[in-house]
Structure 1
Amino acid sequence: MTAVAAGVGEIQLDVVRTRHFKVPITLTIVDVLLGFLFLVAPVTGDSVFRLADSGSAIALADVHVPSAPTMWISWVLLALLTVWAWLDAAAYRRTQLWLPIVYAVLAMFAFLTWAAQDGGVVPVAGTLAGALSLSVPLVYGALAGVIGERGGVVNIAIEGQLLLGAFSAVLLASITGNPYVGLIGAMIGGVFVAFVLAAFAIRYLVDQIIVGVVLNVLVSGLTGFLYGALLAPNQQTMNSAPTFPKWKIPLLGDIPVIGPVFFHQPFIVYLMYVVVAVVAWGMYRTRWGLRLRSVGEHPQAADTVGIKVNPTRFWNVLLAGAIAGIGGAYFTLVSVPHFTKDMTAGLGFIALAAVIFGGWDPIKATLAALLFGFATNLQNLLTVLKTPIPSEFMLMLPYIVTILAVAGFAGQIRAPAADGKPYIKG
């Protein structure tokens, strides 16, 4: 109870404080699972972490660590961080962002130490490069989701935008022999899906979730049909696109470990850096960002100050579609030069989870997408290391990480107030 003087008398205000237990509970579950794994599958020997590849400009020696001691010391530190999270919850304090980040890095180090037992080698630079590669379409999709939902439109159709972007990119790039034309085509494909979503959700007030799901199914069927009828019979002329080459940035590309990962990449990856920075800056520093957030939080108030709510939403959904289309182009202009049926494999839904996990913030959503990309790449590393984990579990790994992240942390965040709610003027 807090007493506040007001005029003649006093007003008694009840101060309600809430404990947040999701983070400590999640960390405790991870502690128990790791401890159980380390007990039932003990390790021997050393684990090797390779910091630089043979072609690196600066040679770095491999790091050898004793597997069992390193693993258990890391586990004890994880337990201490978990206790810290419980103390924060007991004291009505929110867990600071640094704690789960440090916990995740330390937990991954402990797990890889276990996986690389008896002289197994973890290629650090190669693993990070593979994770970034798998994260690129997720980042573009997550940014598209952030822009759409910040404006009040739930973009379930990210999967369809990625898929049609990949199809359009390979078709135009194959015909013209120019990957940049394919990239423009991918953006047009993403905008087309976004246009249909915006028209039905904003103009005709159809439920946004239903429209998004229907669009995903429609695009899957449409691209599958066109693949069989158009691309497959004309593989060399219509389904064999030139890909973007990798460009190494002088000096930056020679930085040990991170240089080859971040600064020896194709054009679409460098474009991703720019898009993330521009969207993050524009969301909070420009008139565009203010108007976008206002129509997603309180469209009535935005309308009263002269902001055209529905046109603002419409154009930003189209912008989001163009960004998602670039992510689709990555599949066929960087990863593989061919289109295959449903090649996005549900990554649009993981991108949507990154939006939620990232709290509808461009930077946090990007970090969430990078986390999910790392989890996807981890299954490949574990296969190479020949861990005793069943292959079926490794295929489930990225989705388990997604569920754990969203269920364990997303409960503390709030979606834009008008997200998914159509606006009817007057």
Structure 2
Amino acid sequence: MTSLAQTQAADGTVQLATVRERHLKAPITLAAVTALLALLLALVPRTGTTSFRLGDQSQSFELPIVELPTAATSWVVLGILVVLVVAAFLRAWSYRKASLLLVAAFGVLAVFDFLVWAGAGGLVPVTSLLFGAVSLSVPLVFGALGGVIGERAGVVNVAIEGQLLLGAFSAALLSSITGNPFVGLIGAMVGGVLVASVLAAFAIKYLVEQVIVGVVLNVLVTGLTGFLYGALLAPNEAELNTPERFSRIKIPVLSDIPIIGPVLFNQTFIVYLMFITVAVVAWGLYRTKWGLRLRAVGEHPQAADTVGIKVNPTRFWNVLLAGAIAGIGGAYFTLVSVPQFGKDMTAGLGFIALAAVIFGRWDPIRATLAALLFGFATNLQNLLSILKTPVPSEFMLMLPYVVTLLAVAGFAGQIRGPAASGKPYIKS
């Protein structure tokens, strides 16, 4: 990275000089992770064999189970990680950033090394681990997409938690009444829009502080759904809280691809809808008139106004769109994951989705990857509990949040959001 600095010559004239910076944050983070892994292998050595199951019961053929010597494999992979760390420092020394490929390779190998150590004497189901990671990430992805659209339009969407929760409640109620999961899905989108409409009205029309409105909405929706659950759903569980769920749709041929086939192509309708939504939002945000106007009102609303874009209506309708997308994430809880609605069942995932928006630098693809990272860390925590590793249970509960913080602190770097995000626009 290069920057310009002013210097004053002997004759008093001001000159611009190029200053080159070494990017050491990523190499230092990689070195710290490698050191922690080395300490783990040295202080808590594990022997025996680690088995990896690559196949899945849904596939038409069976893949062999791969068995690796735990100690030898762990130290060999650690050696490769050291080489990657040295490569990252060499790139930093030559004023180059650590490449995305290098960081990705390091991450995959570090996780693999940890799994080899953790799975000593046990079986690591690779496909199930990845399938669970995708499943746990679905509400986060939809919530993050809603957050990206809202903030790109200039409105901080802190109410993602409330949109997920009301979406889950509406989906469970309407799907139970009609026996149709698609009706429940539409109801979830309406629930998300209702929360978003209140946020948009107070933030855009009445110029109330957006973060405060979002927090209040989360508390309001939590109390409202808790009350309705106790007064309406719990006494009439058979009629109002037994939603019809989406079943898996297996795509022929594609679902038989080793490892990733069952993960990506033996999923429910909502997961396939997630794939489409991510692609459409990512394409539309940068390639369409809608995306150009959306980014314009979030970056420079005055300039957008001068070329005829109606700033506040554009913000309002896009916040509603963001609420509808987040509501779909809420539907996943009751129409796929859990067969009924429960109080506070979103468990703060809306705030994790908001963190994914920031970590993903307000970009749909990056935010999706950030959500998938958290989902993987959460499912890894569950796997470690099953494998009965010597890792303390308290640390395993912290694992998803530790991974998220490490990723944000170590790789996100200096982040700048949309310039007008959180700032109301008053037409002069």
The TM-score range, normalised by the shorter chain, is: over 0.9
Deviations 1:312-334 (A, max 9, x none): 11111110000000000000000
Corresponding residue of 2:92: 89
Corresponding residue of 1:308: 310
Corresponding residue of 1:79: 82
Moved more, 28-37 or 137-146: 28-37
2:339 to 333, 337, 340: 337
2:56–2:262 contact (8 Å) kept in structure 1: no
Q: Residue 294 in 1 paired to residue 302 in 2?
A: no
CA distance in 1 between partners of 2:25 and 2:200 (Å): 35
Q: Residue 31 in 1 paired to residue 34 in 2?
A: yes
What percentage of residue pairs aligned between the two structures are identical?
Answer: 71
Q: Residue 46 in 1 paired to residue 49 in 2?
A: yes
Q: Equivalent residues in 2 for 1:105-116 (5 A)?
A: 105-116=108-119
TM-score by length of 1: 0.95
Q: Which runs of 4+ in 1 moved over 6 A?
A: none
CA distance in 1 between partners of 2:220 and 2:227 (Å): 11
Corresponding residue of 2:285: 283
The amino acid across from 2:235 in the alignment is P
Corresponding residue of 1:327: 329
Q: Equivalent residues in 2 for 1:5-404 (5 A)?
A: 12-118=15-121, 120-404=122-406
Shift of 1:12: 3.1
**Helix, strand or coil for the counterpart of 2:15?**
strand
**Helix, strand or coil for the counterpart of 1:341?**
coil
Shift of 1:291: 0.8
The CA RMSD over aligned residues, in Å, is 1.6
Corresponding residue of 1:422: 424
The amino acid across from 1:76 in the alignment is G
The amino acid across from 2:141 in the alignment is V
Corresponding residue of 1:7: none
Shift of 1:28: 2.1
Moved more, 71-80 or 325-334: 71-80
1:248–1:263 contact (8 Å) kept in structure 2: yes
1:58–1:256 contact (8 Å) kept in structure 2: no
1:298–1:418 contact (8 Å) kept in structure 2: yes
**Helix, strand or coil for the counterpart of 1:233?**
coil
Shift of 1:55: 4.3
Distance 1:59-1:290 versus aligned 2 partners, 3 A rule: same
Deviations 1:273-294 (A, max 9, x none): 1101100110111000111111
Shift of 1:74: 1.3
**Helix, strand or coil for the counterpart of 1:379?**
helix
Shift of 1:2: 10
Name structure 1 gaps, 5 residues minimum: 4-9
1:186–1:326 contact (8 Å) kept in structure 2: yes
Shift of 1:11: 7.8
CA distance in 2 between partners of 1:215 and 1:224 (Å): 14
1:186–1:328 contact (8 Å) kept in structure 2: yes
**Helix, strand or coil for the counterpart of 2:302?**
helix
The amino acid across from 1:317 in the alignment is V
**Helix, strand or coil for the counterpart of 1:14?**
strand
The amino acid across from 2:238 in the alignment is Q
2:134–2:376 contact (8 Å) kept in structure 1: yes
